[in-house]
Amino acid sequence: MNDRWVPYVVVGALLMMIPLALKSLTIAVAVAAVAVLLLMLALLGLDRASVLAMVAAFALASWDKYTLPVVSVLGPSDALFVVAIGLALPRLMTRRLWLPPAFLLGASVYVTFSILASLNSEFPGESYYYAARIILTVIGIPALLVWWGPRGKVLVALVVAYAIGTGVSIAVGLPNMGGYRNYGLSQHPNILGYTAVLALALLPFLMRAVAKPHRTWICLMVLGIAGVGIMTSGSRAALLVAIILVVLYPAAERSILAALAVLASGVVGILIISQRSIRGDEQDAFSRLLGSANAAGSDHARIEGVATVWAEALAHPFLGTGFTLSGFLGHNAYVQIAAAAGFISLAAFLLVCFSMVMPLFVHDDMHSRLVYPAIVFIIAAPVSPNLTDRYIGFLMGLSLVGVVAVYEARRERQSEELTQAQATRGHADATFGASAVRGRDPNPVSWSR
């Protein structure tokens, strides 16, 4: 695309915005943001500016402590994501969007039943609001990211940007901990733990996608970020999901070396725990998992919440009671979906989730390693109420990008094999035709005894 017109548009827009910036501080800040965007366009062009905006969106995805002043439910990463998609629209409008059939089927059924459940709800406005947020997180953002189509270095940049942004969030919260759990730049320590375990889930892809000599230090950096984040957050759910992920990895990769490493680390961990004395006021994830601090009270609240929401699901199995804020107190995403929109909707939701992990055992394609964030969500859902968070949508979007990339590579291989077979058959037909012209059989059979 020819971007020669961009500098002229930038200069004209900046001149028109000067009077607006003089009216108030809020308008001045907004004008400054627009000016930065326009300068990016002038310097980089549409495509590069789109990539930079998307990388920034991933870097800020875990910072849900900050929201936009006008729409408090949205954060800076949401705005950057929209900007990145908007800047890429001229390219995207010529690009065909392909999504896995299982994802499309599950998404269609889930959206349909979410609408029906909201119509049937006692509070339809509230139900539509939360239903739309869940649909945007689990279906909308992943589909848009697939349409945007990150590949190669851009895809690696998104993954590394998310890990670095999460690391910054964790580091900012460390000096403020004292005797409390680490909040970082998130609204709750459990969210910090969730973002950290999602960073851990990116390691298998980075181990394949990043070339030496940068692979070692990048992977160690991500591993350190995830470990510190999980432990200082005090989130038992994050710790359990991380342990399951580490145990699952050797089986998924079919690696004996990885299995031995996991076994050795498990033995060391058990020895450390057995020699450690746990005080009642310790807030790290291991201590809380072993019963210190307010773990017992938290367990009781979760059990009561799940029981209440599960009773609602059984009482309204087909269309549920609609999406409400009280439904998120169940601390179990699956039970929450069943109570809000019925068990058919839950089945469709599970189909959407599992469509993002289908190529897990495709070992000849590094993109299949992007399914681990979706695995984290599937494992964490029974102990987490998080269904509407942008960091979940972004990371599940990466999983869907990986699935689509695997399908594309498979179709390309099949196309190449078909072309090769047609070329071979054409060569055989040509040989047969030439032999027929000369009056000889190209494959003579000996009839001699």
The 10s digit of each residue's pLDDT in 8-42 is 565 666 566 566 555 555 556 666 666 666 666 66
Closest CA to 167 of 220, 224, 206, 237: 224
Give, for 32, the enclosing helix (H) or strand (E): helix 25-44
User: Which of the pair, 91 or 111, is modelled with greater confidence?
Assistant: 111
What is the per-residue pLDDT for 106? 96
Number of helices and strands (H, E) in the chain?
20, 0
Angle between the N-to-C axes of helices 124-135 and 333-341, in degrees from 0 to 180, rounded to the nearest 10? 130
Among 90-99, 198-207, 266-275, 425-434, the least confident range: 266-275
pTM for the full model? 0.83
Kindly give, in sequence order, each residue whose CB lies less than 8 Å from that of residue 262, ignoring residues fewer than 6 positions away: 246, 247, 249, 250
What is the per-residue pLDDT for 148? 95
The 10s digit of each residue's pLDDT in 282-297 is 555 555 555 555 556 6
User: 174 is written with which tokens?
Assistant: 């460390």
What is the per-residue burial (b if ≥16 Cβ within 10 Å, else e) of 139-170? bbbbbbbbbbbbeeeebbbbbbbbbbbbbbbb
User: 165, 202 in Cβ contact below 8 A?
Assistant: no
DSSP state of 94: T
Residues 270-283 have a mean pLDDT of: 52
User: 9 is written with which tokens?
Assistant: 């548009």
User: 364, 208 in Cβ contact below 8 A?
Assistant: no
Residues 215-235 have a mean pLDDT of: 88
User: 394 is written with which tokens?
Assistant: 């972004």
The 10s digit of each residue's pLDDT in 122-164 is 889 899 999 999 999 999 999 999 999 999 999 999 999 999 9
Closest CA to 242 of 383, 55, 363: 383
Q: How many CB atoms neighbour CB 335 within 10 A?
A: 24
CA distance 5 to 272: 64
Q: Where are the alpha helices (DSSP H) in 316-381?
A: 333-341, 343-354, 372-380
Percent of the chain at pLDDT above 70?
72
Q: Which one of 232-241, 245-254, 416-425 scores highest in mean pLDDT?
A: 232-241
Closest CA to 405 of 347, 349, 350, 356: 356
Confidence band for 377, pLDDT divided at 50, 70 and 90: very high
The 10s digit of each residue's pLDDT in 338-375 is 999 999 999 999 999 999 998 776 767 889 899 999 99
CA distance 107 to 63: 28
Confidence band for 334, pLDDT divided at 50, 70 and 90: very high
Domain locations along the chain:
99-413
Task: Determine whether 79 is exposed, middle or buried from the number of CB atoms within 10 Å of its CB (0-12, 13-18, 19+).
Answer: middle
